[in-house]
Structure 1
Amino acid sequence: MDIKKHNKNIVEQFSKQANSYTAITSHSDALEKLISITSASKNDHVLDIACGSGIVSCEFAKYSNYVTGIDMTQGMIDEAKKLQTKLNLENITWQIGDVEHLPYDDNSFSIVVSRFGFHHFLNPLKVLSEMKRVCKPNGIIMVVDVSLPDSKIEKYNEMEKNRDCSHVAALSLTDFSRLFKNLELKNVNSDFYSMKIELNEQLQASFPCDSKALKNMIIADVGIDDLGVKVEKINNTYFLHYPIHIFSTRK
C-alpha cells in the first residue's frame, strides 16, 4: 500500500471521527493501569505516539513532568487541546508528525507509549524501532492495542476494515512477540483488559464502508465469537468486548 495514500486515508477518517472519539466512554477505560505499570512520576517526560484526541496524554500529564503528543491528524490534535483545556493541564505539547520518522533526538523520553495506533501502521516494526530510539536507556516502552490469537485475526480484520477503512491489521499475540524480539527488547510484560462498547455507540462514532453488512456480521457472531470480540446480547442491545493487551518493557 502506498504510504502517502494511506496517511491521507487516516487523516480523512480521523478528521471525521474526531468529535465523537473522546465521547466513547470506554476509550477512557483502564487508564489507571497504564499509570500504574509505568509508575509515571514528576521525573518523567512522556511521548504519546499517535496520540489522537489526547486521552492518554492528558492522563499521563496528571502524574508526569511533561508530555508530548504527536499525531498526523489536525482534527484529533484540536480535540486533544480541548481536553487539555477542560482538565486545566499546562504541561503538554502537541505536534503534527509522522510516527515512522519521529522528529526527536535519541534518548529523549523516559516513557514512550502508543495506544490504539499499531493496527493503523503499515510498518509497525519501524514505528516500534522509532519508539525505542527516542526512549532513554532503562526507559519504558509501552504498546496498547487490540490483540487476538492467530485464529481470530482474519475475521476481526474483515470487520474492522469495514468499520474503518484506515485499519491495516490487528496484530496477533504472536506478531507482537515477534516485533519486540526483532528489536531485541527483552523481558516484555503483558497485561489485559476488555473494552466493552455498545454496538450502536460504536457505529455512530464510525464511518463504515457498509454499515448494514457490518451490523449483520456482528449480530451474527453472538455465541460464536469468530470475530474475537465476544459479542453479547443483553435486553435487545448488543455489546462488543475488545481484547486490549498492554505490552511494556524497558529499553
Structure 2
Amino acid sequence: MSEGTPVTAQPWDLVAEGYAEAAATVLGPFAAHALEYVGLEKDSEIVDVAAGTGLLSLAAAELGARVHAIDLSAPMIEHLTAAAEISGHTTVTAQVGDGQDLPYEDASFDAGFSLFGLMFFPDRPKGFAELRRVLRPGATAVVTAWAPAVDSSLMRALFGALTAGDPNAALPQPDARSLENPAVFEAEMRAAGFDEVTIRSHTVEVCFPSAEALWDTMTRSSAPLTVLRHEVGEEEWQRRTDAAVERLTVTYRANTPLHTTALFGVGAVPAS
C-alpha cells in the first residue's frame, strides 16, 4: 500500500494470482464505495484504468455498466477476463495497456475510475490527463490512493510483523509529494482539467480469523512483498514468515478490527 512500487509489469505479473484471491478482503469495500460517487445507469460506458484483477470492473458490471478495463499486467487481465466469464458479465472488455497512453478515442466514457492504480504511475499528470481526455463532458472521475501508512493500524500490524523477520523493514513514512497529500491530489486533478474536485477520506475495517490469515492475505496481495519473496527465495521467505506469524500471534487477537484509510479524488469534466 505504498507509492514506492515501480510501474513495470513484472511486480504485478508476479502478484496476480495472489491478488485475485486475497485482495478483495481489503479492497472490495473501497471498490464499492468508489461506485457510490457515480450514478451509473444501465449501459453506462465506463473505463477502469489500472484495473488489476477487476474488483471495480466486476462490481460496475453488476450494476449494468459496460466496462472497458485496462491494466499493464497480462496475468492481471487474464484473471479479470476469467472472472467476468465465470460471472456471466458479457459487458466487460479487458485489455493490456498503459494508463498513461490510453487506446481510446476522446470523450468515450460516462465515468472513469482508477482504484489504487494511477497513484503508482511514473507520470501521474499524464495519467490524469489521459483519464480526462477519454471522458465525456459532464462525466465523473474517481481515483483512489492510500492515506499515509502510519495512520493505518492494518499497515502498522503488517510492518510490525515484517520487522520480526527483517529488522531493516520499516513502515513507509508520509510522502508530501504523493497523492496521500490531499493538496497534491487536488492540484493534479485540477491541472488535468477536472472541475468540482474534492478529496475525501474513507476508512475500512477488516478482521482476520487468525494471525496466519492476516499475514497470508496481506503478503499475497502486495506487489512489493511478492517481489521481495521472489528476490530472497523460498527458504528465506519461510523463515521470515515464521517469525512474522509468531510476532502476530502475540500482537494480534483473532477477529479484532484493523483499519486502513484511502483518499478518494472525485472530479467532473466540464459540461461544455
TM normalised by structure 1 equals 0.75
- Please tell me whether residue 188 in structure 1 is matched to residue 164 in structure 2: no
Q: CA RMSD in A?
A: 3.3
Q: 1:84: Cα distance to partner?
A: 0.5
Partner residue, 1:20: 18
Residue type of the alignment partner of 1:18: A
Count of matched residue pairs: 220
Mapped partners of 1:169, 1:200: distance in 2: 28
Residue type of the alignment partner of 2:117: G
Distance change >3 Å, CA 55–CA 241, structure 1 → 2: same
Partner residue, 1:249: 267
Q: 1:240: Cα distance to partner?
A: 5.5
Mapped partners of 1:19, 1:245: distance in 2: 26
Residues 30, 204 of structure 2: 8 Å contact kept: no
- Please tell me whether residue 106 in structure 1 is matched to residue 106 in structure 2: yes
Residue type of the alignment partner of 2:103: P
Q: 1:115: Cα distance to partner?
A: 0.3
Where is the helix percentage greater, Structure 1 or Structure 2? 2
Q: 1:233: Cα distance to partner?
A: 4.0
For residues 51-70 of structure 1, the aligned pairs below 5 Å read 51-70=51-70
Partner residue, 2:82: 82
Q: 1:86: Cα distance to partner?
A: 2.1
Mapped partners of 1:186, 1:82: distance in 2: 36
Larger Rg: 2
Partner residue, 1:141: 141
Mapped partners of 1:238, 1:202: distance in 2: 15
Residue type of the alignment partner of 1:178: A
Partner residue, 1:228: none
Q: 1:32: Cα distance to partner?
A: 3.0
Residues 99, 118 of structure 2: 8 Å contact kept: no
**3-state SS, counterpart of residue 203 of structure 2:** strand
Distance change >3 Å, CA 203–CA 72, structure 1 → 2: same
Mapped partners of 2:106, 2:191: distance in 1: 19
**3-state SS, counterpart of residue 99 of structure 2:** coil
Residue type of the alignment partner of 1:23: E
Q: 1:33: Cα distance to partner?
A: 2.1
Mapped partners of 1:176, 1:169: distance in 2: 8
**3-state SS, counterpart of residue 18 of structure 1:** helix
Structure 2, unmatched stretches of 5+, are: 1-5, 160-168, 171-176, 208-213
Residues 46, 64 of structure 1: 8 Å contact kept: no
Mapped partners of 2:55, 2:48: distance in 1: 10
Where is the strand percentage greater, Structure 1 or Structure 2? 1
Distance change >3 Å, CA 205–CA 35, structure 1 → 2: closer
Mapped partners of 2:189, 2:137: distance in 1: 16
- Give percent identity, aligned residues only: 18
Partner residue, 1:235: 253
Mapped partners of 1:121, 1:240: distance in 2: 28
Q: 1:148: Cα distance to partner?
A: 3.3
Deviations 1:94-152 (A, max 9, x none): 11111111111110001110001123211111100100000000001110121339x97
Deviations 1:58-107 (A, max 9, x none): 11112234110011111001100121022111001111111111111110
Residues 233, 239 of structure 1: 8 Å contact kept: no
Structure 1, unmatched stretches of 5+, are: 1-5, 221-231
Mapped partners of 1:205, 1:42: distance in 2: 32
Distance change >3 Å, CA 119–CA 32, structure 1 → 2: closer
Mapped partners of 1:169, 1:188: distance in 2: 17
